[in-house]
Amino acid sequence: MSPFGRNFADGDRIEIAGAVIRLKVHARARRVSLRLDRSRREVVATAPSPRRLAEAAAFARDRIDWVTARLAELPRAQPFAPGVELSVMGQPVRLAQQAGRARWLPAEDGQGAVIVAQGEGEGFTRAVQRLLRKQALERLTALTEGHVAALGAPMPKVVLTDARSRWGSCKPPIGRQPAVIRYSWRLILAPVAVADYVAAHECAHLRELNHGPRFWALVETLVGDPTPHRAWLRAHGARLHAIGAGEPT
């Protein structure tokens, strides 16, 4: 039995001094370690095997000052609520509360676009996220169509996720099944050039299933130098995951 009075399993979460720690087993880890998962807004204590998870928990407890300092560095959560202004592919969009079906009101008369939805709390959040996902699917599909046309590749199936560890992924075609490209719907909250880079990155995998020199040359052919877009995602990715934090997916 561990000093915490219980045994642990991979994926367990524990609370230490108000901070939630996720325990993880990684067979290739050489030692117990801590890291900040910015996308999930939590600290992960990793152990090489299940029997050392108690050691990982104790390690997190002994370094609680480091844990709380790292969590304090995360961007503040921005819930979906009436009056909040979002940036949708670089354009301002305001959230508003109004009775009736949730809808997207395009920009006009110098005013930005508006998402109107009824209800409050979880109901309002669900409606806003539903509309943002719809916009994300439409715009990311259009970006994908442009890149596959440039590549002379068949159009893949486009699917949205709320993946925390990656912005996109590409599954090659199998038999008569088309390729599948998955995007995080949160790319709708990024500048259009950044979203376009992710689309180009995944479409390039339709030709090169690796990250070798020919792959990156193909990406550069599609969108130019990818360095600033990759840097933007590293710098602002945690903020995108903080927008609407806590909402159902």
Question: Percentage of the chain with pLDDT > 70?
Answer: 96
Query: Is residue 215 a part of any domain in this protein?
Result: yes
pLDDT at residue 11 above 80? yes
pLDDT single digits (tens) 54-94? 999 999 999 999 999 988 888 888 899 999 999 999 999 99
Query: Is residue 80 a part of any domain in this protein?
Result: no
More confident residue, 239 or 6: 239
pLDDT at residue 185 above 90? yes
Residue numbers of the domain that contains 17: 13-72
Do residues 124 and 23 share a domain?
no
* Number of domains composing the chain: 2
Do residues 67 and 140 share a domain?
no
Do residues 183 and 103 share a domain?
yes
Burial class (CB in 10 A: 0-12, 13-18, 19+), 51: exposed
pLDDT at residue 249 above 80? no
Do residues 43 and 98 share a domain?
no
Do residues 49 and 96 share a domain?
no
Do residues 102 and 154 share a domain?
yes
The residues near 47 (Cβ < 8 Å, ≥ 6 apart) are 23, 24, 25, 26, 29, 32, 53, 55, 56
